[in-house]
Amino acid sequence: MVNWQTLFMVSLRRQGSSSRYKYKFNMEDITHRVFPRCKQAFKKTNLKYEYCDIGGSLYNISLMSLQKLLLRDINAADGNAFKIVRTDLVEKKSNNRIQHWEQIAPMFDHPLSLYEISLSEMNKEEFRPSFEWQQLIKVRSPDEKFKLERVIWPKSVFSNFCRGIGVRENTYDRLLKQNNGELPVFVNPANAKPLPLFKVTDETAIGEFDGIGIFPYFVDAHKTFFVTEIDKLKAKIASPLCNSNERKRNEKANTGRLLENEKGKPFYLDAKNVTSRVADGNITTLKHLLERSVSHKTLWSKQSTKDRTCPGDVLRSTVLSNDFSIRQLRNEFCKNFILYNIYTILQRNKKNTRDLTPETNITNFHFDWKVWDSYIWKQFQETESMEIPVDQVSLVNYRVKYDLFLEDLQTYSTLVIAEMKWNQSSIFQNDEAFLSRFEHIALVLQTILTKSRIIKTFQPNLYKFMQDDLQSTFFESVSFTDSINATIEPTFANEQSLQSANALKKFANQLLYFEQKIYAEKFHVSRPIQLRPLTLSDNYKIVILDKQNAMPEIFETLLKFMTQIKTYFVKDLAEVELHGHMHCIDKKMLDKSTFMYLYELKYNETLKTTPLPQEKIVDNIIDLLSNDTES
Q: What is the pLDDT of residues 229-245, one digit of tens each?
A: 988 888 888 888 888 89
DSSP string, 466-504: HHHHHTTSHHHHS--HHHHHHHHGGGG-SHHHHHHHHHH
Task: Choose one of 67, 96, 121: the last residue of a domain.
Answer: 121
- Band (pLDDT 50/70/90 cuts) for residue 489 is low
Measure the CA dihedral 22/25/26/28, to 10°: 150
For residue 575, being part of any structural domain is answered with: yes
Contact yes or no for 206/266 (Cβ under 8 A): yes
pTM of the model: 0.86
Task: Choose one of 493, 514, 543: the last residue of a domain.
Answer: 493
For residue 1, being part of any structural domain is answered with: no
Over residues 478-490, mean pLDDT: 68
Same domain membership, residue 480 and residue 390: yes
Alpha carbon distances (Å) from 519 to 113, 542, 595:
47, 14, 22
Contact yes or no for 76/82 (Cβ under 8 A): yes
Over residues 555-562, mean pLDDT: 95
**Lowest model confidence (mean pLDDT) among 191-200, 349-358, 388-397:** 349-358
Over residues 459-477, mean pLDDT: 80
Q: Does the pLDDT of residue 269 top 60, yes or no? A: no
What's the confidence (pLDDT) of residue 27? 94
Alpha carbon distances (Å) from 221 to 215, 225, 259, 435:
9, 8, 21, 62
Over residues 242-260, mean pLDDT: 85
Q: Does the pLDDT of residue 463 top 90, yes or no? A: yes
Long-range contacts, 475-481 (Cβ 8 Å, 24+) = 475/353, 475/442, 475/443, 475/446, 475/447, 476/446, 476/450, 477/356, 477/357, 477/358, 478/356, 478/358, 478/360, 478/362, 480/362, 480/443, 480/447, 481/447, 481/451
On average, the pLDDT of the chain sits at: 86
Q: Angle at the Cα of 491 (from 498 to 412), degrees rounded to 5? A: 60
What's the confidence (pLDDT) of residue 118? 87
**Lowest model confidence (mean pLDDT) among 117-126, 228-237, 542-551:** 117-126
Same domain membership, residue 98 and residue 138: no
Over residues 16-34, mean pLDDT: 92
Same domain membership, residue 476 and residue 355: yes
Which one of 252-266, 347-361, 466-480 scores highest in mean pLDDT? 347-361
With a pLDDT cut of 90, the percent of the chain lying above it is 57
What's the confidence (pLDDT) of residue 615? 57
The closest alpha carbon to 484, from 442, 533, 519, belongs to: 442
Same domain membership, residue 554 and residue 574: yes
What's the confidence (pLDDT) of residue 91? 73
Q: What is the pLDDT of residues 168-187, one digit of tens each?
A: 999 999 999 999 999 999 99
Same domain membership, residue 176 and residue 234: yes
Same domain membership, residue 108 and residue 228: no
For residue 283, being part of any structural domain is answered with: no
Q: Does the pLDDT of residue 475 top 60, yes or no? A: no
What's the confidence (pLDDT) of residue 548? 87
Domain span holding position 601: 524-627
Same domain membership, residue 355 and residue 484: yes
Q: Does the pLDDT of residue 334 top 80, yes or no? A: yes
For residue 290, being part of any structural domain is answered with: no
For residue 471, being part of any structural domain is answered with: yes
The closest alpha carbon to 212, from 192, 186, 231, belongs to: 186
Q: What is the pLDDT of residues 143-152, one digit of tens each?
A: 999 999 999 9
Instruction: Name the phi and psi angles at 133, rounded to 5.
Output: -75, 120
For residue 280, being part of any structural domain is answered with: no
Same domain membership, residue 145 and residue 116: no
Same domain membership, residue 140 and residue 239: yes
Task: Choose one of 71, 95, 121: the last residue of a domain.
Answer: 121
Same domain membership, residue 220 and residue 199: yes
Alpha-carbon distance 299 to 295, whole Å? 9
Q: Which residues contact 505 (CB under 8 A, 6 or more apart)?
A: 375, 408, 411
Over residues 502-527, mean pLDDT: 92
DSSP string, 204-244: GGTTTSSEEEE-TTT-GGGGGG--SHHHHHHHHSPPPPP-H
Alpha carbon distances (Å) from 160 to 250, 252, 520:
10, 16, 61
Same domain membership, residue 475 and residue 596: no
Alpha-carbon distance 176 to 189, whole Å? 22
Same domain membership, residue 179 and residue 99: no
- Band (pLDDT 50/70/90 cuts) for residue 493 is low
**Residue 214 belongs to domain with CATH number:** 3.90.740
What's the confidence (pLDDT) of residue 157? 86
Over residues 103-124, mean pLDDT: 90
With a pLDDT cut of 70, the percent of the chain lying above it is 86
How many domains is the chain built from? 4
Q: What is the pLDDT of residues 376-434, one digit of tens each?
A: 999 999 999 999 999 888 999 999 999 999 999 999 999 999 999 999 989 999 887 78
The closest alpha carbon to 550, from 580, 522, 591, belongs to: 591
What's the confidence (pLDDT) of residue 549? 85
For residue 168, being part of any structural domain is answered with: yes
Q: Does the pLDDT of residue 611 top 60, yes or no? A: no
Q: What is the pLDDT of residues 56-98, one digit of tens each?
A: 899 999 998 999 999 999 999 999 999 999 888 767 777 889 9
What's the confidence (pLDDT) of residue 8? 96
Over residues 307-328, mean pLDDT: 95
For residue 173, being part of any structural domain is answered with: yes
Q: Does the pLDDT of residue 194 top 50, yes or no? A: yes
